[in-house]
């Protein structure tokens, strides 16, 4: 069976869409990174960190209402935060410090871990970069399992700790993803049999992404991460509590900030859960705005089914006879959907929509 990494080999990237600029060497936002101000998506037009006191629901996973609250949040917004999630705060601090250790290296050291043109792991610009004609104020490091090969290039004698932390974090995030997914299925009244749960879990596609948004001389002109939805089932994001920047798009309200909450992790619905829920859960559109004062680091963990798994509206949700419940998407393998998204970005969902 193909791995998630192999699903990306069909869409090789040019080096200009892999190597980030050397953020240490720029004193102003270069043309290549300056987003048009007339554009609807312009960061300046939408820049509004203080005006709106909207906040996404925070759910205590130990609470007896956690299932109901998580399901409801998926339905209403596609995003929520969780506390009492069981991830030790020491591990969150450690992963931040390892991410910091990597991103504060000089550019010539970071490129030793550069993603290969047809690869999915390693250091580089965001994978969505080729869909935009301006570059983002962002650099990332993607892992699928052990980062050993890349880490050894960067620190020939000091890679062990980095690898240990990244592997430990992925193990714990996998368990948390399974727990959250089981809660969500329960909320939907879906039995584990209906989604072939043991198979879904057995070879899950997962990825870990360290994100860095260096301090930006003019954040109003720059875009940290352009608007997108996440591809797999669920994303769990750790953002440092002092670092704002994540925004979600809300119908009728525009861009609203997701303020970090100390110790909480952000969970959002991705395209595959949107498809499986037959569009009951929105795949939340989100983006990141850089800051003038803070170098922001975040850690995203993406969880999805195995590459050969067929993703489609869950049978139990489409069984009733009413039009409302008829399947809205055709079913597609994870591998095909990942490739379709790599080639078409936000058009991918509509390409499998049948009503």
Ligand X SMILES: O=C(O)CCC(=O)C(=O)O
Q: Does 230 bind Fe ion (CB under 5 A)?
A: yes
Q: How far is the CB of 126 from Fe ion (least distance, A)?
A: 9
Q: Does 300 bind ligand X (CB under 6 A)?
A: yes
- Outline where 191-333 has alpha helix (H): 197-202, 271-276, 315-318
Dihedral angle, C-alpha 59, 80, 237, 198, nearest 10 °: 80
Chosen residue from 59, 82, 216, 225 binding ligand X by CB under 6 A: 225
Residue 209 contact, options Fe ion, ligand X, none, Cβ 5-8 Å cut-off depending on partner type: ligand X
Chosen residue from 59, 61, 237, 284 binding ligand X by CB under 6 A: 237
Distance CA 286, CA 330 (A): 25
Distance CA 114, CA 104 (A): 15
Chosen residue from 17, 127, 286, 328 binding ligand X by CB under 6 A: 286
Residue 298 contact, options Fe ion, ligand X, none, Cβ 5-8 Å cut-off depending on partner type: ligand X
For Fe ion, the closer CB: 94 or 230: 230
For ligand X, the closer CB: 79 or 195: 79
Distance CA 187, CA 262 (A): 27
Residue 288 contact, options ligand X, Fe ion, none, Cβ 5-8 Å cut-off depending on partner type: ligand X
Distance CA 14, CA 147 (A): 22
Q: How far is the CB of 286 from Fe ion (least distance, A)?
A: 6
What are the angstrom distances between the C-alpha of 64 and each of 60, 68, 85, 87, 184? 9, 9, 14, 19, 14
Q: Does 271 bind Fe ion (CB under 5 A)?
A: no
Question: 195: which DSSP letter?
Answer: G
Residue 268 contact, options Fe ion, ligand X, none, Cβ 5-8 Å cut-off depending on partner type: none
**Structure tokens belonging to residue 143:** 């892992």
Question: 329: which DSSP letter?
Answer: B
For ligand X, the closer CB: 61 or 299: 299
Q: How far is the CB of 235 from Fe ion (least distance, A)?
A: 6
Distance CA 107, CA 194 (A): 48
Neighbours of 190 (CB within 10 A): 18
The residue annotated as part of the active site, out of 115, 127, 201, 296, is 296
Mark whether 296 is an active-site residue: yes
- The residues binding ligand X (CB under 6 A) are 209, 211, 225, 230, 237, 239, 245-246, 286, 288, 298, 300
- The residues binding Fe ion (CB under 5 A) are 230
Positions annotated as catalytic residues are 296
């Amino acid at each position: 069976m193909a791995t998630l990494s192999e699903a990306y080999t069909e869409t090789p990237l040019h080096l200009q869409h892999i190597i980030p600029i050397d953020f240490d060497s720029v004193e102003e936002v270069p043309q290549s990174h300056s987003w048009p101000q007339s554009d609807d998506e312009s960061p300046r037009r939408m820049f509004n960190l203080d005006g709106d006191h909207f906040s996404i629901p925070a759910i205590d996973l130990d609470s007896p209402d956690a299932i109901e609250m998580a399901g409801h949040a998926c339905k209403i917004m596609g995003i929520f935060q969780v506390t009492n999630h069981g991830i030790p705060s020491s591990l969150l601090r450690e992963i931040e410090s390892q991410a910091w250790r990597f991103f504060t290296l000089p550019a010539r050291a970071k490129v030793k871990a550069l993603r290969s043109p047809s690869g999915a792991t390693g250091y580089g610009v965001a994978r969505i970069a080729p869909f935009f004609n301006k570059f983002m104020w962002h650099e990332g490091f993607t892992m699928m399992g052990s980062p050993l090969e890349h880490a050894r290039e960067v620190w020939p004698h000091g890679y062990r700790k980095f690898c240990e932390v990244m592997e430990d974090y992925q193990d714990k995030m996998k368990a948390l993803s399974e727990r959250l997914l089981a809660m969500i299925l329960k909320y939907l009244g879906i039995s584990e049999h209906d989604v072939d749960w043991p198979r879904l879990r057995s070879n899950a596609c997962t990825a870990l992404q360290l994100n860095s948004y260096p301090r930006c001389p003019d954040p109003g002109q720059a875009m940290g991460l352009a608007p997108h939805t996440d591809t797999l089932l669920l994303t769990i994001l750790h953002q440092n509590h002092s670092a704002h920047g994540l925004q979600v798009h809300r119908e009728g309200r525009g861009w609203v900030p997701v303020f970090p909450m100390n110790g909480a992790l952000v969970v959002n619905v991705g395209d595959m859960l949107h498809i499986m829920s037959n569009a009951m859960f929105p795949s939340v559109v989100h983006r990141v705005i850089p800051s003038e004062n803070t170098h922001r680091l975040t850690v995203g963990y993406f969880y999805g089914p195995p590459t050969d798994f067929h993703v489609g509206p869950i049978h139990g949700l489409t069984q009733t006879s009413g039009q409302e419940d008829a399947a809205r998407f055709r079913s597609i393998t994870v591998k095909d959907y990942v490739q379709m998204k790599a080639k078409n970005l936000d058009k991918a969902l509509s390409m499998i929509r049948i009503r």
